[in-house]
Structure 1
């Protein structure tokens, strides 16, 4: 545990031994040694500049596509929240705080008559995470609309990078090392607001019809391999409905894992690895995790 006296004074919230599970969509996982929720960019920049350089840092947003392991996260967890959720119209685009939920961006763009961002209504989570993994859904990807990002480096310096510097590809972005995305500008196209809202409604309906939205889940578990759909490979390997403890592969969409109530993070991760092994044994295809797994494992005897 890092001694509190070594951490700089901040305007935001800084607490020790904070449970992270309730903050994740799966509703499980361990504690943060320290949790820092900065008030704004200036508060975060000061904290980064004054922090001990050896202090481990982990950045979290909406926690929609993450498994936090049962042993928690060492060092300090930085969680971006309200002070990073502004949406500002900027000519043919929007300048957005990194903690802004993707669905809110789609809705705000519609109110401004800016099209091309409707696909964000189909992506759980916040724009900072979406940029970090080049998230996509329903025919759209972040790379198609991203203009630039602003990041704070480990010393608290604010820098801007064009999208072209991120080498974005399918579910992949190369962010500057040890940096934190705090803003992004998305390009859009003027369009009839009613047509935009209609597209958003169609995406929402499609999601509700095909995905287990009203459950403890974390979005798509695995990336689609080239030329394949992950859910089809999982289904063909007879993993639909597979359970380990209270962790289950969804019956409705088998590229989604569910916490039925009391699943541990270890159970969820073991379930995912079991699915990967079964798919590989049957097809020779190695599924790659889309869900990020972070933190410390508990001793083996305490996992399951």
Structure 2
């Protein structure tokens, strides 16, 4: 009996000793092995002893470096048994498998939305906190996600990595290219539930919906006039500012809206695209055609 008690006491003493010796002095986390504690301490000290010979990037742990090296070699030893997609790191395969199982182990404590990996949850949390850790060095605009900053940077660099195969027009973002492609395919995937009119992009549908709801969310800061479309508000603002950014190359006359310049250009070209269905008389402006139609209707 005594021997058993002594053994238990010795075991408990050993457990207490391990907890004391393998405990992080910064965050009180306890590790089973001293080597694991040493690795963990690098998260506090910032030490990254493992360096990539290709690009110089440094890592806290050796297996992180090994995973990274596959981005240079192209090696992808981990294969998904469901769809045969291959990955360079085991962790990426594990996350991918959740797209098949539907598992979403990371839950937002604010709204209960669930995510398949921790990084997606962290990005989502910024919608609640308002945190925008990614700042543009050129204009100081801040972004919640690094991808949004990368896209924004193209407004400064002029980079347009996406090109239309139909007309070679370049674009700064893939989403802009996809919207443009619909001008070639004629695809209109966005339908108004009120009148069934279809649109090639979501923004046009949202603008159109306001013709049914009467919503005018954009207000002029000078005269408080309301507009259903931000573009219309911008054009209206020029009435107050006097800005006339559109210039006629024929006579140098300037206009505050592109549509006004296009209409004016017909005085030079002689184009009259509006035809009266009653007498075939043609007009350069729609307003003039409407006024003319009154002569027929009385």
When normalised by structure 2's length, the TM-score is 0.19
In terms of fraction of residues, the more helix-rich structure is 2
Structure having the higher Rg: 2
**Relative CO higher for 1 or 2, CA cutoff 8 Å, sep ≥ 6?**
1
